[in-house]
Amino acid sequence: MSEDIEIEEPETGTLPLDAWHRDKGARMVEFAGYWMPIQYEGIVAEHEWTRSNAGLFDVSHMGQLLLSGPDLDAAVEAVLPIDLSTLKLGQQRYSLLLDEDGGVLDDLMVSRWPECLYLVVNGATKWDDIGHLREYLPDEITLNHLDEQALLALQGPKAADALARHATGEYPLSALTFMKFGRFTIAGHEVTIARAGYTGEDGFEISLPGHATEEIADVLCREPEVKPIGLGARDSLRLEAGLPLYGHDLSPETSPIEAGLVFGINKRRRSPVEQGGGGYPGATRINREIVEGTLRKWVGLKVEGRMPAREGAEVFAGGEQVGVVTSGGFSPTLGAPIAMAYVASAHAATGTALEIEVRSKRLAATVVPTPFVPHRYYRGK
CATH number at residue 286: 3.30.1360.120
The amino acid at 220: L
Q: Are residues 285 and 316 in the same domain?
A: no
Question: Does 242 share its domain with 255?
Answer: yes
pLDDT band at 10 (very low <50, low <70, confident <90, very high): low
The band of 268, judged by pLDDT with boundaries at 50, 70 and 90, is very high
Residue 288 lies in a domain: yes
Could you count the other beta carbons within 10 Å of the beta carbon of residue 144? 12
Sequence letter at residue 163: L
Backbone angles phi, psi at 210, to 5 degrees: -55, -35
Cα-Cα end-to-end distance for the chain: 73
Residues 29 and 119 in one domain: yes
Q: Does 205 show up as a binding residue in the annotation?
A: yes
380 occurs within a structural domain: no
> What pTM did the predictor assign?
0.94
Q: How many CB atoms lie within 10 A of CB 230?
A: 25
The answer to whether the bond into 371 is cis (omega within 30° of 0) is yes
CATH at 338: 2.40.30.110
pLDDT of residue 2 exceeding 50, the answer is no
Q: Report the 3 state secondary structure along 99-143.
A: CCCCCEEEEEEEEEECCEEEEEECHHHHHHHHHHHHHHCCCCCEE
2 in a domain, yes or no?
A: no
Cβ(297)–Cβ(343) under 8 Å?
A: yes
Looking at the structure, do residues 306 and 272 belong to the same domain, yes or no? no
Same domain, 247 and 356: no
Rounded to an integer, the average pLDDT of 204-231 is: 98
Q: Choose the final residue of a domain: 294, 320, 349.
A: 294
Of 235, 267, 294, which residue is a domain's last? 294
- Number of compact structural domains in the chain: 2
Distant-in-sequence, close-in-space partners of 368: CB < 8 Å, separation ≥ 6 = 300, 301, 302, 350
Q: Is the pLDDT of residue 57 over 50?
A: yes
Q: What is the pLDDT at residue 317?
A: 98
**Cβ neighbour number for residue 248 with a 10 Å cutoff:** 15
Compute the radius of gyration of the chain from its Cα atoms: 21
- Averaged over 21-29, what is the pLDDT? 98
Query: Last residue of a domain, which of 294, 320, 347?
Result: 294
Q: Is there a domain that residue 378 lies in?
A: no
Of the CA atoms within 13 Å of residue 266, those in its CB half-sphere come to 20
Distance between CA atoms of 36 and 43, rounded to whole angstroms? 14
Neighbouring C-beta atoms of residue 344, cutoff 10 Å: 16
pLDDT at 276: 64
Both 203 and 67 in one domain: the answer is: yes
Distance CA 47, CA 53 (A): 10
Residue 76 lies in a domain: yes
Residues of the chain with pLDDT > 70, as a percent, come to: 96
Domain ranges, residue 47: 8-294
Same domain flag for 304 and 198: no
The DSSP 8-state label assigned to residue 94 in this structure reads E
Give the integer Cα–Cα distance in Å for 325 and 297. Answer: 12
pLDDT tens by residue, 322-353: 999 999 999 999 999 999 999 999 999 999 99
Same domain, 176 and 73: yes
Same domain, yes or no: 224 and 309: no
Distance CA 151, CA 305 (A): 38
| Whether residues 139 and 189 fall in one domain | yes
What is the average pLDDT across 220-230? 98
Residue 352 covered by a domain: yes
Looking at the predicted structure, is the pLDDT value of residue 8 above 80?
no
- 306 and 285 share a domain? no
Render pLDDT for 64-118 as a digit per residue (tens, 0 to 9).
999 999 999 999 999 999 999 999 999 999 999 999 999 999 999 999 999 999 9
Give the chain's mean pLDDT: 95
Q: How far apart are CA 63 and CA 124, in angstroms?
A: 9
Share of the chain above pLDDT 90, in %: 94
Q: Clarify whether residues 193 and 81 are in a common domain.
A: yes
